[in-house]
Structure 1
């Protein structure tokens, strides 16, 4: 696992780095281990009004070493579906495993 700081990834600026740090993601290896979608889910939960779909694109692009505008349309479409599922889960609220 890479111990390099998140800010060594392309497209990850100080604001996003700060958000990731608040979410407990400090290294490139940690981000790779959980993936862009899980990192986005955590950020959306923490900062729902500040984190947009572009953050998910940026995280995925950073892990791929490119700019988010250069992500293939198929990748963007898959990420949009993931983001939609996350939004729907947040709207439904927490799911309990036992009867109350």
Structure 2
């Protein structure tokens, strides 16, 4: 796992780096191990009005070392499906950790 700072990834600026650090993601290696979708989920639940699909694209692109506009169409389509699932969970209030008898 890389201990490189988040800002060393392409497209990760100071605002996104701050959000990621607030979510407990401190290094490029931690982001890589977690993946873009889980990082997006954490950010979306923290900042639902500020984090958009473009953030998910940017996270994925950063891990791939490219600009988000250069992500392949099939990757963007898969990320869109993942973002919809995260948004639906957010609207439901997340997943219950236990159920009442």
Q: What range is the shorter-chain TM-score in?
A: over 0.9
Alpha-carbon separation, structure 1, partners of 2:92 and 2:51: 19
Partner of 2:99: 98
Q: What is the TM-score with the length of structure 1 in the denominator?
A: 0.96
Q: CA deviation at 1:97?
A: 2.4
Deviation per residue, 1:25-49 (Å, 9 max, x gap): 1101100111000000000011111
Q: What is the number of residues matched between the two proteins?
A: 100
- Please tell me the root mean square deviation across aligned C-alpha atoms, in Å: 1.0
- Match of 1:2, SS? coil
Partner of 1:28: 28
Q: After the TM superposition, which segments of 4 or more aligned residues of structure 1 sit over 4 Å from their partners?
A: none
TM-score, with length taken from structure 2 = 0.95
Q: Distance in 1 between matches of 2:74 and 2:96?
A: 31
The structure-2 alpha-carbon separation of the partners of 1:96 and 1:28, relative to structure 1 and needing over 3 Å to count, comes to closer
Structure 2, unaligned runs of 5 or more: none
Deviation track 1:54-81 (CA, whole Å, cap 9, x = no partner) reads 0000000000000000000000000000
Distance in 2, Cα, partners of 1:48 & 1:83: 12
Uncovered stretches (5+) of structure 1, i.e. residues with no partner = none
